[in-house]
Amino acid sequence: MSFRTLRHTAAVIASLLVAAGCSTGSGPRGSAAEAHPAPGTSSTPPVTASASVPTESSVVKPNIVFVLTDDFSMNLVQYMPNVRRLQQEGTTFTNYTVTDSLCCPSRASILKGQFPHNTGIIKNHGSDGGFLLFNSRGQEKTTIGTDLQAAGYRTAFLGKYLNEYQPRLTMGTGKPYVPPGWDQWWVSGDAYKNFDYLINDNGRVVRYGKQPKDYLTDVMTAKATGFIKAGAASGKPFMIELSTYAPHLPFTPAPRDATLFPGLTAPRTPAWDRVPENSAWLAAKPRLTPAQIAAIDRYHRLRAQSVQSVDRMVGTVRDTLVKAGIADQTMVVFTSDNGYHMGEYSLPAGKQTAFDTDVNVPLIVAGPGVQAGREVPHIVENIDFRPTFSEWAGAPAPTESDGRSFVPLLSGALPADWRTAALVEHHDPASDPKDPDYEKDSINVPPSYDALRSETFTYIEYVDGKAEYFDRVADPYMLKNVVGTLTPERLAELRGALRGLATCVGPDACWTAGRALR
């Protein structure tokens, strides 16, 4: 029996122990929104492992359902009963960090398993970012999709791809372009309103209108269930990425959800309308105006409404897996490309900062061998999806990935050489009005920066030489920059570790740099 098979079998045994009540992990936190269930909430039963331990001949490669939301923040989970159920039945990574709080750089990191300085994608469009650069650099030749196809998987990509991608683009092929690695391709461009959009449907451009039946997330859900049913019937493993536009600006909810949560306002956390002490870039920021506060409250309500369709999608997909008899053979992953701030730090709605509101987003995994109701505090980044998916598929680790598989963390193990800090890099901020992430209030956008985020602190260096250090144990809302209290030795250590990560090239060098701090 192979090492991989032994490990898989051990993971299944662990899941059986959890099902028998032997888990020692803590349960999910309570929710303030229990009184606001989404309409049409799925009644997906808990998914548990089979009662028999598989032999080598019966072990199969798990299917993978990857749900990637857009601009999703931690405070929206409470309004999503199906996602909360996923937490209860799976594992949550509390220190999951994106490589850049901006759509395209983060999504490129997911596809390639590389930091933005290695993908070359540091912006949403133009000469230093976007789909056109990603394609021209040959980055699509090897991605999560091509890895899994080569491992025998049937693959599908639905929804939002990379900024600048448009369904009618041919990229010299003579027909609407479909990137390598995807057997099924149902992808739009600039469909942020979720209505009146074009789709490249496997090389054929289709227009959807403005009727309730055309709401993009709902259409995507129907397409996903069809793909899953076909995959179950074929007996071949599959991977499907469900990449929503929700809850990105303009925060358009499905018509059935447009009246939910009347009177809901944005959370007034300790960071609400408060500039951090000794801020390196926000010292002169005025307090929020009444008009800005009213807009933020309205936006938060729209965001809570818009994620109801995403929550139904999660429930419907999991129902489909159960009915198809493959729930115990399928890994379900829920996350976002980046977070979103709304009123914290006296900032209007937006992202791109190194605050946890923008870089620390949900990562929830459920499936065979995954412990239920458990939280993992170790540092995981979006560059880790590609090697993780490869391990699930029984494929070699990608040779170009800067990350590592987090499969051991799902079984409760912590490799001795696991990273101690995540890299967040943000350069050439989205300051072009043509960019969908453009923020007209320029003070809302930080200067370019590199940052280290560990389990306990965040250290940031800005392009102008200023720095910030937040002790997130003593100061969880990041309200006091205490970089001035650090010793010269500690500051030198942080600077060296950050430089090492921000300039690393190649998997070995980047993994070593991520362990520079102990």
- Bridge-based pairing of strands 449-453 and 422-426 is antiparallel
Count CA atoms closer than 13 A to 430's CA, side-chain side. 26
Pairing state of beta strands 467-471 and 449-453? Answer: unpaired
Residue 214: CB atoms within 10 A of its CB come to: 15
Measure the CA–CA gap between 137 and 123, rounded to whole angstroms. Answer: 15
185: enclosing H helix or E strand: strand 184-188
For residues 69 and 310, the answer to whether their CB atoms sit within 8 Å is: yes
Q: Are strands 457-462 and 330-336 parallel, antiparallel or unpaired?
A: unpaired
Tell me the HSE value of 271 on the side-chain side, using a 13 A CA sphere.
20
- Cis check: omega of the bond before 250, within 30 degrees of 0: yes
Under DSSP, the state recorded for 37 is P
Contact 431, 126 (CB under 8 A): no
Q: Give me the residues paired with residue 171 across strands.
A: none
Rounded CA separation 119/401 (Å): 10
Residue 462, Cβ neighbours under 10 Å: how many? 18
DSSP string, 317-380: HHHHHHHTT-GGGEEEEEEES---BSSBTT--SB--SSSHHHHB---EEESTTPPTTEEE-S-E
How far is the C-alpha of 360 from the C-alpha of 380, rounded, in Å?
A: 10
Assess contact for 221 and 316: CB atoms under 8 A.
yes
Q: What element of type H or E holds 110?
A: helix 103-112
Residue 22 among the catalytic residues: no
Q: How far is CA 186 from the centre of its chain?
A: 20
Sign of CA dihedral 406, 407, 410, 414: negative
Secondary structure letter of residue 396 according to DSSP:
P
Beta-carbon contacts of 404 under 8 Å, excluding residues fewer than 6 positions away, are 384, 387, 397, 415, 418, 419, 511
- Catalytic annotation, pick one of 103, 104, 504, 510: 103
Q: Are 140 and 180 in contact (CB under 8 A)?
A: yes
DSSP state of 513: H
Crossing angle of helices 290-323 and 216-234, rounded to 10°? 20
Catalytic residues: 103
